[in-house]
């Protein structure tokens, strides 16, 4: 455990329970009741220093980024200061083992809009983004990385889309190139996972796991508890929005070679991506995952049973019975899962 006794640990804000009706556009109006329920926002309208609550919160997870995080902060603050938006830059040190925390603390003294949240234990980028979103003061939350890969100078552009078009609840910077490690394996793996997600959500997804995105905080709150600790959190928030009819706009962006050492592990993280895609769609639409294989097993079992009946009247081999019964069991599980989903309150 990596502790920083000299720094006060900032507690995470509690997850707020908001009832959102599946199928509604949560960004389509200002009336809370039109979004499936009413709630009282517990966040202060005025901050401790007397300033009004910012419109945008940029969540910046940092793990061993001390060598270049200050350049990223300079780039983000320059873009936001030149824009019309009030903002805060929430820098989360995920128990770094280098001087990242010290760099962030000095930046907080040099820049007026920075808030630092140090973790005593490494929780992963998903944990940092979830807690950062819960603790955000802004109405719009932006996720990005501190490794100089994304065009963070375009953050105001993403925010403007959400401000000007209430029909969108999330804007994603869709990368047009792949500059990550293990490129030979990442490109086909990401393509396959993205195609699975598109089939499951019935939506074209140009970039499933881009780390640069802006979304409405209120819409995201019910889904934060679903976020995993690792990189697949961005996949999860995409599928969660699409599965509940929250529209996402994709904007083409460039993707640069990262600074520092990548924390991505191809085999482990690709496996987690696939599991997370299936888990999310099972959570929202289990029939789409379970019913197709169930019906195929039943059909194959019936056809094979007819053939067996012709060849050997009233004799059904064990594999025929196994096919048919397996299909029935999976179909029953699909219907039961769908019943659980539809009877669940809220999300």
pLDDT in tens, 96-111: 999 999 999 999 999 9
Does one domain contain both 135 and 213? yes
Does one domain contain both 225 and 322? no
Does one domain contain both 254 and 318? no
Does one domain contain both 86 and 230? yes
Does one domain contain both 179 and 311? no
Contacts of residue 237, Cβ cutoff 8 Å, sequence gap at least 6: 170, 213, 215, 220, 223, 227
Percent of the chain with pLDDT over 90: 54
What integer pLDDT is reported at residue 278 of this predicted model? 75
At which of 284, 300, 320 does a domain end?
284
- The answer to whether position 6 is within a domain reads no
How far apart, in whole angstroms, are the C-alpha atoms of residue 103 and residue 224? 29
Mean pLDDT across 9-37: 39
Q: Which position has the higher pLDDT, 24 or 137?
A: 137
315 DSSP assignment = -
CATH code at position 158: 3.90.550.10
pLDDT in tens, 137-157: 999 999 999 989 999 999 999
How far apart, in whole angstroms, are the C-alpha atoms of residue 96 and residue 237? 25
- The answer to whether position 38 is within a domain reads yes
Q: Band of the pLDDT at 27, cuts 50, 70, 90?
A: very low
Does one domain contain both 43 and 159? yes
Q: Which position has the higher pLDDT, 273 or 323?
A: 323
Q: What's the number of domains the chain is made of?
A: 2
Does one domain contain both 329 and 290? yes
Does one domain contain both 331 and 232? no
Q: Which domain holds residue 331?
A: 286-343
| Mean predicted lDDT score pLDDT of the chain | 82
Percent of the chain with pLDDT over 70: 79
pLDDT in tens, 202-242: 899 999 889 999 999 999 999 998 888 876 788 889 988 99
- The answer to whether position 158 is within a domain reads yes
Q: Band of the pLDDT at 2, cuts 50, 70, 90?
A: very low
């Amino acid at each position: 455990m990596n502790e920083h006794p000299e720094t006060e640990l900032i507690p995470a804000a509690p997850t707020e329970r908001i009832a959102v009706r599946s199928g509604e556009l949560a960004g389509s109006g200002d009336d809370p009741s039109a979004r499936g329920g009413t709630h009282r926002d517990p966040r202060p309208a005025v901050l401790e220093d007397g300033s009004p609550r910012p419109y945008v919160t940029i969540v910046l997870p940092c793990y061993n980024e001390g060598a270049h995080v200050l350049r990223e902060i300079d780039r983000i603050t320059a873009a936001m200061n030149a824009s019309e938006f009030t903002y805060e830059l929430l820098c989360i040190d995920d128990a770094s083992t280098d001087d990242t925390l010290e760099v962030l603390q000095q930046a907080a003294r040099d820049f007026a809009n920075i808030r630092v949240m140090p973790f005593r234990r490494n929780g992963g980028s998903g944990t940092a983004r979830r807690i950062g979103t819960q603790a955000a003061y802004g109405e719009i939350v932006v996720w990005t990385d501190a490794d100089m890969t994304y065009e963070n100078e375009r953050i105001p552009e993403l925010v403007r889309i959400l401000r000007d078009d209430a029909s969108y609840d999330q804007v994603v910077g869709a990368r047009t190139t792949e500059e990550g490690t293990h490129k030979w394996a990442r490109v086909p793996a990401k393509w396959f996972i993205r195609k699975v997600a598109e089939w499951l959500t019935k939506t074209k997804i140009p970039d499933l796991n881009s780390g640069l995105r802006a979304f409405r905080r209120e819409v995201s709150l019910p889904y934060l508890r679903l976020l995993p600790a690792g990189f697949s959190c961005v996949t999860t928030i995409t599928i969660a929005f699409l599965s509940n009819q929250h529209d996402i706009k994709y904007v083409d962006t460039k993707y640069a070679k990262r600074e520092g050492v990548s924390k991505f592990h191809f085999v482990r993280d690709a496996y987690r991506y696939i599991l997370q895609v299936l888990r999310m769609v099972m959570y929202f639409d289990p029939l789409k995952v379970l019913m197709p294989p169930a019906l195929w097993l039943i059909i194959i079992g019936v056809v094979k049973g007819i053939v067996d009946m012709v060849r050997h009247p009233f004799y059904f081999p064990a594999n025929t019975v196994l096919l048919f019964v397996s299909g029935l069991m999976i179909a029953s599980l699909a219907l039961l899962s769908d019943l659980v989903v539809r009877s669940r309150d809220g999300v």
